[in-house]
Amino acid sequence: MNDDIEEIIQNIESVQMQFGNRRVIELFEENILKVKNPELSYLFISKFEGANIKAHEQVVLESKNPEWNYKFARYIRGADIPAHRNVVINSGSPFWIKEFKDNIVVINIKYINDINNRILSLLPNNKQ
């Protein structure tokens, strides 16, 4: 982790303790997004509830950095996992590709539909 970024996050956390998440987001989010640093965006979204997930996700995706795309997909609820998977795969990094494959489950929509169809088949007289 970058020491400068870690210090920035610690400083923001001290402001958070006094003023709360909403104020932190008002004060810092716009500038953090301007910097377009995937590590800073990942840490900000992971620590400050209510931050703009999609805007920070875009920063991470556009960075093409396999580490921060992996972490975003793995730890941020609501992440676009297939988009992050594509970035990791396209990076060609064997380490991050393996980490993604081993630790992040991508649910197949067809599989979900098949399960729903099986559930509905349990209806009396198969009234789907």
**Residue 27 Cα distances to 19, 51, 67, 117, angstroms:** 10, 11, 27, 48
Residue with token string 């992050």: 84
Integer Cα distance of 8 and 42 in angstroms: 13
Q: What is the CA radius of gyration of the chain?
A: 19
pLDDT in tens, 46-63: 999 999 999 999 999 999
The answer to whether the beta carbons of residues 68 and 42 sit under 8 Å apart is: yes
Integer Cα distance of 59 and 46 in angstroms: 14
Q: What pLDDT is attached to residue 81?
A: 92
Integer Cα distance of 28 and 17 in angstroms: 14
Q: What pLDDT is attached to residue 106?
A: 67
| pTM to 2 decimal places | 0.81
Integer Cα distance of 12 and 21 in angstroms: 10
Low-confidence stretches of the chain (pLDDT beneath 70): 1, 106-109, 126-128
Both structure tokens of 123? 């209806």
